[in-house]
Amino acid sequence: MLKNQPAILALDFDGVVCDGLIEYFQTAWQAYCQLWKPAETVPPQGLDAKFYRLRPVVESGWEMPVLIQTILDGLPEAEILAHWGTLASYKAQEANLTPIEIAATVDRVRDEWISRDVDHWLSQHQFYPGIIARIQQMLADSIDVVIITTKEGRFVRQLLQQQQIDLPENCIFGKEVKQPKSQTLRDLLSALQQGDAPTTEIWFVEDRLKTLQAIQAASDLDRVQLFLADWGYNTPYDRELADRTTGIHLLSLSTFVQAFSQWY
């Protein structure tokens, strides 16, 4: 049985708090152009919409330009959704490219954009409706909110500060911590046990089902209640599986913005 509220609410950032699809596509397109060198450097009409729909298949940044090439090759979306793991490797090999090489190009494109105009880069991120107001309310109610993300913490901080949310330094665990999300949750649980919190439960909201499954498999993380954000970067299959999985709660955006007692 879940408590009425968590001791700590842990949130993934991209796909839960913030929608970075516009930035993802622009970075992916520029990297694609550098690697595949198409004759036309303006993306075809409708490519962005297809990329947005298929973004949930991407597990690592190197796959984003590969996804663009796969879409342009005309493969049906259903096939991409069903066989992306195999397709991604095949498409990279077909272009004589390695994941490391592609990832380096993606990182370079993003780094150059940030260096050139960080404000423009930040402006390509949007917050999901109601999320900011709900986080502000949680903080006003003295709920401890932390961010656990693969995005660099400094950018998470800047984006939140633009929305008048200023989390303490030790409440944002970004790419720079260089450890799995499961370990960050483990560290947070350990700190709770040593304190005097009325509950030692952490609730974690994530949009990647595989991440939640990995946490669920760790027996020492059984006091972390897991929620899959159905508005994030996941597929209908992911949501259906989460809904059938004991211990993982499928969460809608309309429920997230309500009281914790409505979450389950």
pLDDT digits (tens, 9 = 90+) for 129-143: 999 999 999 999 999
Q: What is the SS3 assignment for 25?
A: helix
- pLDDT tens-digit map of 145-155: 999 999 999 99
Neighbours of 164 (CB within 10 A): 8
pLDDT of 2: 53
pLDDT of 199: 62
Indicate whether 115 pLDDT > 90: yes
Q: What is the SS3 assignment for 223?
A: coil
pLDDT of 206: 98
**Mean per-residue pLDDT, 44-64:** 95
Q: How confident is the model at residue 20 (pLDDT cuts 50, 70, 90)?
A: very high
Q: What is the SS3 assignment for 151?
A: coil
SS3 content of the chain, % helix, strand, coil (to 5): 55, 10, 35
Give 251's strand partners: 229
Question: DSSP secondary structure string, 30-44?
Answer: HHHHHHH--S--SPP
Indicate whether 259 pLDDT > 50: yes
Locate all alpha helices (DSSP H) within 95-244, ordered by sequence.
99-116, 118-123, 131-140, 153-161, 181-194, 209-216, 236-244
Question: What is the dihedral angle through the alpha carbons of 26, 29, 30, 34, rounded to the nearest 10 degrees?
Answer: 170
Give 160's strand partners: none
The token pair that represents 166 in the structure block? 């200023």
pLDDT of 195: 63
Q: How confident is the model at residue 47 (pLDDT cuts 50, 70, 90)?
A: very high
**Mean per-residue pLDDT, 156-182:** 94
Q: What is the SS3 assignment for 201?
A: coil
The radius of gyration of the chain's CA atoms, rounded to the nearest angstrom, is 19
> For residues 197-212, b (16+ Cβ closer than 10 Å) or e, as one string?
eeebbbbbbbbbbebb
What is the rounded average pLDDT for all residues in the chain? 94
Cα–Cα distance measured from residue 17 to residue 14, given in angstroms and rounded to the nearest whole number: 6
The residue among 233, 242, 178, 251 whose CA lies nearest residue 212 is 242
pLDDT of 1: 42
Domain 8-19+127-262, CATH homologous superfamily name and number: HAD superfamily/HAD-like (3.40.50.1000)
Share of the chain above pLDDT 90, in %: 89
Domain locations along the chain: 8-19+127-262, 21-123
Indicate whether 34 pLDDT > 50: yes
Exposure of 261 in the CB half-sphere (CA atoms within 13 A): 1
pLDDT of 62: 96
Q: How confident is the model at residue 169 (pLDDT cuts 50, 70, 90)?
A: confident
Letter for the amino acid at 74? G
Share of the chain above pLDDT 70, in %: 97
- pLDDT tens-digit map of 224-249: 999 999 999 999 999 999 999 999 99
pLDDT of 57: 94
Could you tell me if 67 and 54 are in contact, meaning their C-beta atoms sit under 8 angstroms apart? yes
Indicate whether 15 pLDDT > 70: yes
- pLDDT tens-digit map of 190-226: 988 876 655 668 999 999 999 999 999 999 999 999 9
